[in-house]
Amino acid sequence: MSNPDELLRIEGIRKTFPGVVALDNVDFDLRRGEVHVLLGENGAGKSTLIKMLSGAYTPDAGRILAGGEEVRIHGAQDSERLGIATIYQEFNLVPDLTVAENIFLGRQPRRFGMIDRKTMEAEAAVLLERVGVPVSPRARVRDLGIARLQMVEIAKALSLNARVLIMDEPTAVLTSEEVDKLFAIVRRLRADGVGIVFITHHLEEIAALGDRVTVIRDGRSVGQVPASTPEDELVRLMVGRSIEQQYPRVRPETGDALLRVEGLTRDGVFHDVSFEVRAGEVVGIAGLVGAGRTEVVRAVFGADPYDKGAVLVDGTTLRRHDVGAAMAAGIGLVPEDRKGQGLVLDASVAENLGLVTLRSATRAGLVDLKGQHAAAARIAEQLGVRMAGLGQHVRTLSGGNQQKVVIGKWLLANTKVLILDEPTRGIDVGAKVEIYQLVNELTAGGAAVLMISSDLPEVLGMSDRVLVMAQGRIAGELPADRATQDAVMALAVGTPAGSGDHHTAGPEDDTADTAGTTDKETPRGH
């Protein structure tokens, strides 16, 4: 006899693609008024499973039941008819349309054959109020920030009278305050009887929000446990082994300064930024959203211009705004947006790994394809890239494996200074540790690493020194043994010195006045 509170059940689902078994005998169920967390490494099969429910894929075997009845989901319309709404990491919104137009896209209310804009905007306003987002229905979507786009997606799902809401990594790019607001909305939806499938890589969110957890590993469901299960047990279930250290930083002896930045200034963006990174060292850059961290490292890499200052590698000054010169000097950049800026998604793994070394592998207009392929195979094996083969399109890899490819292309180029901007965003704990181990290997080999992260524990766990930026300046520098979350935040929310000279925080920095932080965006902490 079926459970009257059961909204959805998946039994023995199997899905294969050429050369890959994505799902094998997976079971999952969702009840009314619960948050059921779907947990697994990148590539475990989570995305394939939710695409079954949204109608993008159809199963090769097994069955899906909604309300106790077996159903077939052949497309988005079938999914919507069953009350299933999915919010993906990449939002499904049209930038040039208004919020109201996006919420009711394809389902606009009509009067006398014409779109009834007044009714549409009024209904959109009710939905926006329900999710607690102060946005006008007439606002253009392109003018909204990430957090508000997320809320518009939720309002759109509610307009479909969704009974099942699937949220794929909804907190990946949100600040702490935005996450708190999102959680409040999810709790209200749960109280209204909506069943929520919640996918996250932030383990601390599970106990805070979830009711049950289903763990998928290598395409199989390996366990269902309460959300109160300790994190180390969740990790063991997820990766098939225990991870002794979440941040396994090994600190080698440091050498001479490989990268020196002197008085870097871009009017209105950052001012008088100076620092150095030595061989064998990881220097972290922390700060609030909008502090200028990404803008500074893009200028260092030559991707963006600057007005004053200098960037030196091994004592040699680089030409301004010249990516080629930076690369030739041995600087590599793993960008924050790996899909938009770090990869050619429709190219193969081998082609992406060879992007940086393509010029050096070309003689008389001919590329040494055999050599490039052999080098790509070596680096893919070294990094443990999970793939069907070097010819597989990068678009089809999991997030963690895509990130390994982005880093791998710089390893092939024997990069001296590697800049990592949000290197583990949207990546599971197992893949994170693998990337941290890779950072250790780089620094042990004499490379220098400059790392930006909004995940404070990551910055503190992996950095030998932490630079804190505030309002486009270096507000302070903290050695590893004195870098705490409180010390970082005290510098991040404080007013930078007028001179722009950075300082090493003393004891008084830990108790700095944090008044006015309520309207600030803060990095993620655990």
pLDDT value at residue 518: 33
Secondary structure letter of residue 342 according to DSSP: I
Contacts for 441 with CB less than 8 Å, ≥ 6 apart: none
Contact present, 354 and 338 (Cβ < 8 Å): no
Which amino acid belongs to residue 394? V
pLDDT value at residue 497: 41
pLDDT over 70 at 519, yes or no: no
Order of strands across the sheet that contains 270-278: 270-278, 257-266, 308-313, 316-317
pLDDT over 90 at 397, yes or no: no
pLDDT tens column, 305-325: 999 999 999 999 999 999 999
State the chain's mean pLDDT as an integer.
Answer: 86
Question: Residue 165: enclosing H or E segment and its boundaries?
Answer: strand 164-168
Query: Can you state the percent helix, strand and coil of the chain, rounding each to 5?
Result: 35, 25, 40
The rounded Cα 91 to chain-centroid distance in angstroms is: 14
Helices (H), 445-520: 456-462, 485-493
pLDDT value at residue 425: 81
Q: Which segment, 143-152, 325-334, 377-386, is predicted with the most confidence on average?
A: 325-334
514 confidence band (pLDDT: 50, 70, 90): very low
pLDDT over 60 at 511, yes or no: no
1 confidence band (pLDDT: 50, 70, 90): very low
Q: Which of 10-14, 77-81, 152-156, 500-504 has the lowest mean pLDDT?
A: 500-504
State how far the Cα of 404 lies from the Cα of 435, in Å rounded to an integer. Answer: 8
pLDDT tens column, 421-439: 999 887 778 888 888 988 9
pLDDT over 50 at 101, yes or no: yes
Which among 49, 35, 429 has a CA at the least distance from the CA of 206? Answer: 35
Tell me the mean pLDDT in the region 333-358: 85
Structure-model confidence comparison of residues 197 and 373, the more confident one: 197
pLDDT value at residue 97: 93
Q: Which of 166-180, 290-304, 384-398, 472-486 has the lowest mean pLDDT?
A: 166-180
What's the Cα-to-Cα distance from 488 to each of 17, 102, 504, 510, rounded to whole Å?
46, 39, 11, 8
Structure-model confidence comparison of residues 12 and 359, the more confident one: 12
Contact present, 222 and 237 (Cβ < 8 Å): yes
pLDDT value at residue 525: 64
Order of strands across the sheet that contains 61-66: 20-31, 6-17, 61-66, 69-71
pLDDT over 90 at 378, yes or no: no
Q: Which of 24-33, 343-352, 355-364, 373-382 has the lowest mean pLDDT?
A: 355-364
The rounded Cα 224 to chain-centroid distance in angstroms is: 25
Q: Which two tokens stand for residue 469?
A: 């930026």
